[in-house]
Structure formats: structure tokens, C-alpha cells
Amino acid sequence: MTETPRPDSSARVLEATAVLLTDDSWRRRVIEQMRPISVDHYELRRSFQFEIPESLLDESLEGDDRGTVEVLLPVCWLPKESLLDFDLRDQIGEAAPILERRSIGGALTTVLDAWQRQIPEMDGIRLSESTIESICSASLSPWHQAHQRRQRLRRVAPGTDLSRYLEESTGFSITVNASAALLEEGRQLTFRAFEALEKRLNHEDLDNTAFSGAVLAPYSTQTYLSAEELVDWIESHHQALEQIITKAKESDAITAWLELLVESGRRWPALVPTRVPIGRPFLYKTREIRSSGSRRPRIFRHRADLTSAQSYHIAASAPDSSMRIRRPPEALTDDNEPIGAPSTFESFTWSDELFSAYSSLPSRPERATFTFAFGLYRDIWFPYMYALLLVAFALGAALTQSVDAAFAAVLTIPTAIVGGFVVSRDSVLVGRLLRWPRILLMTANLTLWVIVLWKLQSVID
């Protein structure tokens, strides 16, 4: 069982946190379980097994006489977006006291600033503590939401879109060309940083608060008196980062520091104030809702971090007995190269109801995108075919002149009962996937009732 640490040991806690943020050897195993819950969202449950080796912490960070240490445990890294539904629990199922994002940003700032002061090669190009805090605390959600909304409403040039966004965020009017140039500078620095770290740059990593945050998240920076002052600060920030990237190619210490800064610019660590054992395994579990990543209702894309622990296990299951996994999931690297067994996964199994893959190979890709195609069993269509044929027969009979209103009403009642039973028996997800057969069946039943009422009105007249 984990315990919340005492507030009188903050320096020691942050020192232990810094070790865990920069060394992944204590991350033993992660299990991801994916299950669709609607046509455009799926539930992701993750179980993390951790074990902090005694050799990882130095003498100043050794545990107490109970063999535990106080720490802000970085359970997992989360994208810098809005999380609508996220749950974190410890190994006995109790809710974990995760820090709110401002506090996470503050902890990261303290770690990065203290570490920066210990690197002699960074003398003269140090980023200020307020700048690092802006990087760690900023969210890209407002920018992404504003950008997507405007792109849906009208087709505008990126510079125009950004200029309006900056004016709304800061109240300053910055020209279209200047806005576009600042954004491009930040993205070029992001590209160079990933290149220096020998990491693959993906489209979703292009906007990083460490490099473009001053442009895309200006609400998190300090207050400026004019647009010119803000632009000058952004340009000086870019110049300092360029010097750091250049020196990172010659210094392992700066490379390690830059790697944590880049990670803090694209994701948040879920920091949990707790007391954890040393040399003994312990668990944490998360639950979250993610977008399907596809416009097609039966296709779900899951972005997986294969190197989030020493071993990685993923399992996907059909949401109910009416659905199945139509074919073996496709797994692609960031270079769109297919991966599978045995080159990446030691085990790779698939059936209609369950998919499972496992890997502990040291040479596996850093990340992969799994594409799952779900479908309905064929027998799900039989009740709809039967109900539609029944309604079609009833419609044909009701339209003949020899059938009066009373007999047409008799035909309508059983077809309505059958149609209502077929429609109501499906789960919400299956109902969404059978949207058009359901609409057709209900429309046919409604048409049949209209014919009955029309014939009844003719009799009354």
C-alpha cells in the first residue's frame, strides 16, 4: 500500500523524482487493454508494474528503515491535451492523488532548473525559470481547438489563422507574416532537437511547447506591454534554444537535459505524491477514454508507446458478443513500416473476440500505431432481414385495394412488434453501426401506419 509523503521533505522528493524522470530502468512491464465503447471512442486500461532497484538511488536518496522512499512518481506520460475521462488507482484499487497540471509544471520546472545549473556547458545560455515554467505548464489544447474550428469554418492560410488566435489570446495585433515566421522558427527548432536526440519527429510532435509554446500558448508566458516586446522575447527564446541544440551534439549532459525538456514540451507526466518500496515490485493502473483516430465507425487506431517499459503487452477485445475483430490488426511504425511477429513481438495472437501481442525485445520500435477493424457477426443481420421482408409484405398487401383498413391494421401490429423488438435488442454501439437498416425498418413501419390511417380516413369520409 502506498502512502502520501510528508511535506517537510520536498527537496529530497524532487531529487528522487528527477532520477525517476531520467532513468526508465525501474519501469518493468506495461499492459494495455483496449475496447471500443462508441463508434468514435475507445476505453484504454493500462497496468504498470514498477520496481525501483536499490542501485538506482544514491546514498542521499536511500529509503527509510521500512525500505520505502518518498517521491513524485511519474506513472505515465500524457499528451498535452484535454483529458475528459482519466482515472488512476494504486495496486489495491484506491484512487491515487495525482497532482493537477500547474503543480506538475512546477515540479518539472524545479527539476529542470536545478539540473541546468549543474551543467557547466550551459553557462551563459541558461533559460530563465519563468521560461521553463511556461514550457512545462502550457497546454496546446486552446491552439488545437481554435485551429480546428477555424479550418472547419473557412479555409484560411496558417499565418492568418495564427494571427487571429494570437490577437484573441494576448490582445496584441501581430501581422500574418510575423506570426507565420515565428511558428515556422519554432517548428524548425523542434525538428533540429529531435534530430540531435536521434528521435523520429511525427506530425503530432511538431507543435511542442518547448519551442513553439511562446507562440501557441502565449497565455502561459509573462505579461508584456506591447506586441513588439512579445515578439522580441520569442526570438531571444528561439536563439537560446538554438545554442542549446548546437551544444547538445557535443555534450551528453545537455543531450539528457534537452531530452527531458522536449518530453515536457509535448507531454505531461502523471505525478503521484506517494511512498514507494525499493527493490520490490508495485502496481499502478489507469483508465482513460481516447478518440478512435478515424472517421470510419468500425476502425480504431491506437497509438502505443512500445518502450514505456521493459516489456510491453497489448490486448484488444470485442465490446460485446455481437461484434468481432474482423482481421489481424495492422501495426505500423512511424515510418509506416509494418511490424509483427517475430521481428517485434514474441507472441502475436488473434481471434474473433481477442487480440494479444507481447514484446520485450530491446530492438523494438519506440512507438507504433495499431489499426483495429471491428465488424458485426453475419447472424446479426438475419433479424433485420426478416423484419424488413415482413414489413415489405405488409406494405404490398396494404397498398392493394382489396385490403380494407381493419385488415391493414392487423398487418401493422405484428410488424411493429417485430420491428420494435429487433431495434431494441441491440446495444448502443451495435445500434450505431446498424444505423441505416434501423432507419429503413422504422421508416417502413411508419409508412405502413400512414397507409392504415389513410385507409381509415377514406372509410370515415
Measured in degrees and rounded to the nearest 5, phi and psi for residue 45 equal: -110, 135
Q: How many whole angstroms separate alpha carbon 370 and alpha carbon 328?
A: 10
Task: Provide the pLDDT for residue 62.
Answer: 57
Residue 287: strand, helix, or coil? strand
Count CB-CB contacts under 10 A for residue 195. 13
Residues of the chain falling short of pLDDT 50 = 1-8
Task: Provide the pLDDT for residue 7.
Answer: 42
Q: How many residues does the chain have?
A: 461
Count CB-CB contacts under 10 A for residue 415. 23
Q: How many whole angstroms separate alpha carbon 252 and alpha carbon 113?
A: 17
Task: Provide the pLDDT for residue 314.
Answer: 96
Task: Provide the pLDDT for residue 157.
Answer: 57
| CA 188 from centroid of its chain's CA atoms | 24
Task: Provide the pLDDT for residue 9.
Answer: 59
The pTM of this model reads 0.81
Q: Tell me which residue of 8, 29, 14 sits closest to 74, measured CA to CA.
A: 14
Contact residues for 417 (Cβ-Cβ < 8 A; gap 6+): none
- Give, rounded to a whole angstrom, the gap between the first and last alpha carbons of the chain: 80
Contact residues for 392 (Cβ-Cβ < 8 A; gap 6+): 444
Measured in degrees and rounded to the nearest 5, phi and psi for residue 282 equal: -150, 165
Task: Provide the pLDDT for residue 210.
Answer: 87
Task: Provide the pLDDT for residue 136.
Answer: 87
Residue 444: strand, helix, or coil? helix
Residues facing 95 on adjacent strands = 89
What H or E segment, with its residue span, contains residue 297?
none
Contact residues for 221 (Cβ-Cβ < 8 A; gap 6+): 130, 131, 134, 214, 230, 233
Pure H helices in 118-220: 129-137, 141-153, 158-170, 176-196, 213-216
**Residue 218 DSSP one-character state:** G
Angle at 38 between CA 35 and CA 41, to 5 degrees: 70
Residue 410: strand, helix, or coil? helix
Q: Tell me which residue of 407, 421, 367, 378 sits closest to 202, measured CA to CA.
A: 367
